């Protein structure tokens, strides 16, 4: 087993032990429905070919929303997508301020380059470097009609290494770059609410230019929009969401997946139904027409016993890889554990943490 495989296995177990979803590797253990995997494959194939798509994953707490988004991220990285995973928050990543969302997208960016995952500023720097190198080889100049000044910025990036950190920060939405520094790469202001979507569109184009499939945006806990204090703020956030669904910005090679609770899709006062233009675009598919796996909203449900069994068996295997142990539990032991652990109030997090604790105890006994 490679050192990278052992490292990933250990990272997965450490995250699950704390009750968190691992940053990478959810697809190594989470068993979601076949129809969910099928639509993910179908959507990503469409986006990779130049399409644009949005999807909503709806489920109550413990139904696997975050894990499903994690599977999309893993799949996307395997298919040469850049990915960004955001947890929406009414105090930090507020969806009624697109410039804030833009900064969060690039701050949580992940991309696999030469077999290594690079993140955030390092990822943006690597993407720009490969872009400049690609056009140097072609002896041509990139043209971005939506962001005319970007070509000159890339030229400066290629020619002046000392300015690269500042250019990366500026493109990531930072507002603290001194004017005297920005003047050296031919910009005056900052990326704001009016320009951020154009820069995101250009960023998707750059990814395709250097041989990648596009960008995947994963936005978890969309129900936090309901916690915005004023109806004006909520309406702006829902209008932003509607514009993304309608692809008002004419994006290509972009996939956006939202995860939210049932209340987010049904609450008349603060949820999506409170903003009729958005509600009309998605809710009628799941209220009046029989849902299918190609509907805008996909329903997620908590794991069944068979799902739990497959998940725990995979986690057992990952545990052994992480610690180079040989504590492989027989199927009947896992079934017995599930029989004593599952109840109506039990969450997948509790079941998984319980199994890891049991494996830890077994490992301690073997010392």
For residue range 214-234, what is the model confidence (pLDDT) as tens digits?
999 999 999 999 999 999 999
Give 13-34 pLDDT, tens digit per residue.
999 999 999 999 999 999 888 8
Q: How is the chain split into domains, by residue range?
A: 1-26+303-367, 27-117+211-299
Three-state helix/strand/coil letters over the chain:
CCHHHHHHHHHHHHHHHCCCCCCCCHHHCCCCCHHHHHHHHHHHHHHHCCCEEEEEEECCCCCCHHHHHHHHHHHHHHCCEEEEEEECCCCCCCCCCHHHHHHHHHHCEEEEECCEEEEHHHHHHHHHHHHHHHHHHHCCCCCCCCCCCHHHHHHHHHHCHHHHHHHHHHHCCCCCCCHHHHHHCCCCCCCCCCCHHHHHHHHHHHHHHCCCCEEEEEEECHHHHHHCCCHHHHHHHHHHHHHHHCCCCCCCCEEEEEEECHHHHHCCCCCHHHCHHHHHHHCHHHHCCCCCCCCCEEECCCCCHHHHHHHHHHHHHHHHHHHCCCCCCCHHHHHHHHHHHCCCCCCHHHHHHHHHHHHHHHHHHCC
Between 27 and 283, residue with greater pLDDT: 27
Of the chain, the percentage scoring pLDDT greater than 90 comes to 76
Distance, CA of 103 to CA of 75 (rounded, Å): 24
Give 122-170 pLDDT, tens digit per residue.
999 999 999 998 877 666 676 788 888 898 899 999 999 999 999 999 9
Q: Kindly give, in sequence order, each residue whose CB lies less than 8 Å from that of residue 159, ignoring residues fewer than 6 positions away.
A: none
Distance, CA of 281 to CA of 238 (rounded, Å): 12
Residue 290 has pLDDT above 70, yes or no: no
- Please give the model's pTM, rounded to 2 decimal places: 0.92
Residue 286 has pLDDT above 60, yes or no: no
Distance, CA of 82 to CA of 253 (rounded, Å): 10
Is residue 150 a contact partner of residue 202, using CB atoms and an 8 Å limit?
A: yes
The listed range with the strongest mean pLDDT (150-159, 183-192, 238-247) is 238-247
Q: Please, what CATH class does the domain formed by 27-117+211-299 belong to?
A: alpha beta
Residue 175 has pLDDT above 80, yes or no: yes
């Amino acid at each position: 087993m490679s050192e990278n495989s052992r490292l990933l296995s250990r990272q997965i177990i450490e995250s699950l032990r704390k009750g968190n979803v691992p940053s990478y590797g959810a697809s190594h253990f989470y068993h979601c429905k076949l129809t969910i995997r099928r639509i993910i494959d179908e959507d990503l194939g469409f986006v990779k070919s130049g399409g644009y798509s949005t999807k909503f994953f709806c489920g109550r707490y413990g139904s696997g929303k975050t894990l499903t988004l994690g599977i999309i991220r893993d799949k996307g990285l395997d298919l040469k997508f850049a990915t960004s995973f955001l947890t929406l928050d009414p105090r930090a990543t507020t969806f009624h301020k697109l410039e804030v969302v833009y900064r969060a997208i690039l701050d949580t960016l992940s991309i696999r380059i030469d077999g290594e995952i690079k993140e955030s500023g390092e990822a943006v720097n690597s993407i720009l470097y490969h872009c400049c190198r690609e056009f140097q080889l072609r002896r041509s100049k990139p043209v971005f009609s939506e962001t005319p000044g970007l070509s000159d910025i890339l030229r400066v990036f290629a020619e002046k290494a000392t300015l690269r950190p500042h250019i990366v920060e500026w493109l990531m939405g930072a507002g603290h770059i001194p004017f005297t520094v920005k003047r050296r790469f031919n910009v005056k202001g900052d990326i704001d609410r009016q320009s951020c979507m154009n820069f995101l569109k250009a960023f998707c184009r750059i990814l395709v230019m250097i041989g990648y499939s596009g960008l995947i945006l994963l936005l978890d806990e969309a129900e936090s929009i309901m916690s915005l204090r004023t109806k004006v703020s909520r309406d702006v956030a829902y209008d932003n969401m509607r514009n993304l669904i309608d692809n008002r910005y004419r994006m290509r090679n972009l996939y956006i997946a939202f995860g939210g609770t049932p209340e987010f899709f049904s609450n008349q006062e603060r949820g999506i139904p409170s903003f009729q233009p958005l509600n009309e675009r998605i809710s009628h598919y799941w209220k009046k027409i029989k849902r299918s796996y190609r509907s805008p909203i996909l329903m997620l449900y908590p794991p069944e016993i068979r799902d739990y069994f497959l998940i725990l068996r995979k986690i057992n295997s990952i545990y052994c890889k992480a610690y180079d142990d040989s504590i492989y539990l027989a199927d009947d032991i896992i079934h017995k554990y599930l029989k004593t652990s599952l109840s109506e109030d039990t969450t997948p997090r509790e079941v998984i943490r319980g199994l890891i604790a049991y494996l830890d105890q077994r490992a301690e006994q073997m010392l």
